[in-house]
Amino acid sequence: MSKKKRAKAPPSNQRLAHEAEGAVAGAIAGAALGAAAGPPGAVVGAIIGSVVGAVTGAGLDAQSTVDTAHERKLDEEIGVIGGEIGAPNLKHPPAKLGAYSSASAGAGASSDSTPAEGPMSEPE
């Protein structure tokens, strides 16, 4: 077993806020659903709903952290962060013939030539 266990970092204030938001939303939903069984059902529903909401809030916050780290890594790899994306001074390979294409030079096809994709069929 060569894998090292990482120590868990203490939860941040933002993560605790997300867990609290989930707990409150879960408690409200659980109390509303449990109210069908009367006041005891509302209390039990609020307790169960707050636990489920807090766990869901923590899970969503953890996934958001993972997604943000993954996007930052991809941005660094393609050059969005600290790279050369869109830089005007990139080194492009030289032209093989030293000539521009006729289309980029503004030359159009003559009317008597057949287009590269072939002639159009006549309408019936």
- Quick one: which of 18, 10, 28, 17 has its CA closest to 57? 18
H/E run at residue 110: none
pLDDT tens over the chain, length 124 residues: 445 555 555 667 888 888 999 999 999 999 999 999 999 999 999 999 999 999 999 999 999 999 999 999 988 888 777 776 766 666 767 767 766 666 666 666 555 555 566 666 667 6
The model's pTM is 0.54
15 Cβ neighbours under 8 A, 6+ residues apart: 58, 61, 62
Residue 94 to residue 121: CA distance in whole angstroms: 41
**What count of other Cβ atoms lies within 10 Å of the Cβ of residue 11?**
13
pLDDT at 22: 92
- pLDDT score recorded for residue 81: 79
